[in-house]
C-alpha cells in the first residue's frame, strides 16, 4: 500500500483510534486463546473439556467481583429486575463454552475457531428474532 493511498490513510486513522486499537488487541488475544485452551484441555488427565471454561469463568468472576459488588443494593435491585432473564443468560452463557471446549478437544483448533466466527451470523439472527431489531440495510428495503 503506497504511503499516500486512501488505504494507508485509513490504516493510520485506525491506529489513532483508541477503541480500534483495543479491539485489535482483544482480537489478537482471542485469536491466541483457543490454542492455549486446547493445550489446557489436552493436559487434563483424564481429558476434561468442561474444566477449562470452569477455571476461566472462575478467574474472570473473581476479577469482576470487586467491581460488581461496589454497590450491593444496586446489584440486588438489578438482579431482581432481570429475574428469570438473568438465569436464562447464565444458562446459555454456561452451556455454550462447554460445547465449544468439547469441540476444541475433538476438532482441529483452526477449523473449530473459524466456525466460532459464525456467532456473528447467529447474533444477527437472534437480534432479529428475539429483539425485533432490523439491520439498517433491511430497514430501507
DSSP-derived 3-state class of residue 140: coil
- In order, the DSSP letters of 48-112 are -TTHHHHHHHHHHHHHHHHHHTTSHHHHHHHHHHHTHHHHHHHHHHHHHHHHHHHHHHHS-HHHH
For residue 80, which phi and psi values (nearest 5 degrees)? -65, -45
Burial (CB < 10 A; 0-12, 13-18, 19+), residue 63, is exposed
- What φ, ψ does residue 28 adopt, rounded to 5°? -65, -40
Per-residue model confidence (pLDDT) at position 139: 54
Alpha carbon distance 16, 79 (integer Å): 38
pLDDT 10s digit of each residue in the chain, 141 long? Answer: 566 677 677 677 677 778 878 888 888 887 888 888 888 888 888 888 888 878 888 888 888 888 877 877 788 888 888 888 888 888 888 888 888 888 888 889 888 888 888 888 888 888 889 888 887 665 555
Amino acid at each position: 500500500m503506497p504511503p499516500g493511498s486512501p488505504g494507508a490513510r485509513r490504516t493510520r486513522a485506525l491506529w489513532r483510534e483508541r477503541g480500534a486499537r483495543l479491539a485489535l488487541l482483544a482480537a489478537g488475544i482471542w485469536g491466541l486463546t483457543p490454542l492455549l485452551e486446547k493445550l489446557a484441555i489436552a493436559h487434563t488427565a483424564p481429558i476434561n473439556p468442561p474444566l477449562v471454561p470452569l477455571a476461566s469463568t472462575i478467574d474472570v468472576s473473581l476479577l469482576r467481583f470487586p467491581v460488581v459488588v461496589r454497590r450491593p443494593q444496586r446489584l440486588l435491585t438489578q438482579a431482581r429486575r432481570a429475574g428469570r432473564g438473568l438465569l436464562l443468560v447464565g444458562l446459555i452463557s454456561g452451556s455454550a463454552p462447554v460445547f465449544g471446549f468439547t469441540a476444541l478437544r475433538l476438532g482441529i483448533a483452526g477449523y473449530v475457531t473459524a466456525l466460532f466466527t459464525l456467532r456473528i451470523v447467529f447474533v444477527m439472527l437472534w437480534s432479529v428474532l428475539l429483539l425485533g431489531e432490523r439491520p439498517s440495510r433491511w430497514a430501507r428495503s
